[in-house]
Amino acid sequence: MKPANDLLIRALLREPTPRTPVWIMRQAGRYLPEYRAVRAEAGSFMQLCQNPELACEVTLQPLRRFALDAAIIFSDILTIPDSMGLGLYFVEGEGPKFERPLRTEADIKKLPRPDIDSELRYVTDAIRLTRRELDGQVPLIGFSGSPWTLATYMIEGGSSKTFGRAKKLLFDAPELAHDLLARLADSVTDYLNAQIRAGAQAVQIFDTWGGVLGPEPYREFSLRYMARVVDGLDREHDGERVPVILFSKGSQRDLEAQADTGCDALGVDWTISLEEARSRVGDRVALQGNLDPAVLLAGESVIRRETARCLSSFGTGPGHVFNLGHGITPDVDPEHLRILIETVGSVSGAGQPPGSAPG
């Protein structure tokens, strides 16, 4: 069933819209006081993720405050490695860590392929509950980390400045790296298809660390496996098209190759203008982005100016979803996000709408 507000789906499929739809990466998160209250109630970040009722609640919180055009299910990109037995936990101020990182060939070879319907059912249950609570208002987005991004955390044991262990595997043991990435690609495909069956109406692949690779390693070890995931996804459910967004942060040099994966839309970070990105990919895919999240730390006039500049950079015609070039940061005043959303609506809905068909 199409949501009453289907602007996001239409824009991702490059269909005309009366205004540019907007959602924000990490729109449910620490910048919202109501999120922090639920997080404290849950006891830990993972307990919040693994409680479908609480995950649903924080997914809906930003929609109660703001005129957003989509919800994105509250979860974490590292749920798959956790379901493989690596022991995910979070350290305040340091981020995610694994109790049992991949250190040997044997560690990689013994990785199981998770049974998504049992081991990650808390995610699909949260999606079903959220779809019910949304009651057809706006679309619900599901997501996963990319195979390469998941692999970096699994090998490093957490976040990294140099990604030395992960890159060493690529250069020293490329066949083993391909084995790991193939296993992860199959699990990501299973996971996203389970989310689609549960009710996700669009899905996004987060390639957070694609940009740490050089051009050739990126294509061989990151993009290749995202293409494998896209190829294996169910692109239709309940008679409706399910768009796929590919967001590869720091990899704008490869936009053309990303468009070749068969995805419906590309997320674009702030290191390239939408005008240039559009000139390079043409009408093959929609574009999502790409305001620098730091703009939301500035004053109202700057937020309005930079938001309008971003819309202008895309130009007229269909296929733009407004978003940040990465996730909203915890130090943002929620009222600043309201200003951004209001500006997107007023600017893109005035005169010749950016999402309308060119005359």
Instruction: Please tell me which residue in 14, 26, 224, 228 is annotated as part of the active site.
Output: 26
76 is in an annotated binding site: yes
Q: Is 30 a catalytic residue?
A: yes
Cβ contact 189:118 at 8 Å? no
Token digits for 103?
A: 């250190």
Calculate ∠ Cα 28-34-36, nearest 5°: 80
Q: Is 26 a catalytic residue?
A: yes
121 is in an annotated binding site: no
189 is in an annotated binding site: no
Residue-wise burial string across 115-129, b where 16 or more C-beta atoms lie within 10 A, e elsewhere: ebeebbbebbbbbbb
153 is in an annotated binding site: yes
Report the C-alpha gap between 104 and 341 in whole angstroms.
48
Q: Is 65 a catalytic residue?
A: no
Q: Is 35 a catalytic residue?
A: no
DSSP helix/strand/coil, 204? strand
29 is in an annotated binding site: yes
CA nearest neighbour of 184 among 161, 159, 168, 207: 207
208 is in an annotated binding site: yes
Q: How far is CA 194 from CA 24, 190, 232, in A?
A: 23, 6, 12
Instruction: Please tell me which residue in 153, 191, 218, 225 is annotated as part of the active site.
Output: 153
**Contacts by 102-111, CB closer than 8 A, 24 or more apart:** 102/154, 102/155, 102/180, 105/173, 105/176, 108/176, 108/179, 108/180, 108/183, 109/179, 111/84, 111/85, 111/180, 111/183
Cβ contact 242:264 at 8 Å? no
CA nearest neighbour of 262 among 241, 289, 235, 222: 235
Instruction: Please tell me which residue in 19, 39, 131, 224 is annotated as part of the active site.
Output: 39
Cβ contact 3:138 at 8 Å? yes
Q: Is 333 a catalytic residue?
A: no
Token digits for 188?
A: 């990501």
CA nearest neighbour of 219 among 254, 187, 246: 254
28 is in an annotated binding site: yes
Instruction: Please tell me which residue in 6, 69, 76, 264 is annotated as part of the active site.
Output: 76
Q: Which residues are annotated as a binding site for substrate?
A: 26-30, 76, 153, 208, 326
Q: Which residues are annotated as a binding site?
A: 26-30, 76, 153, 208, 326
Catalytic residues: 26, 30, 39, 76, 153
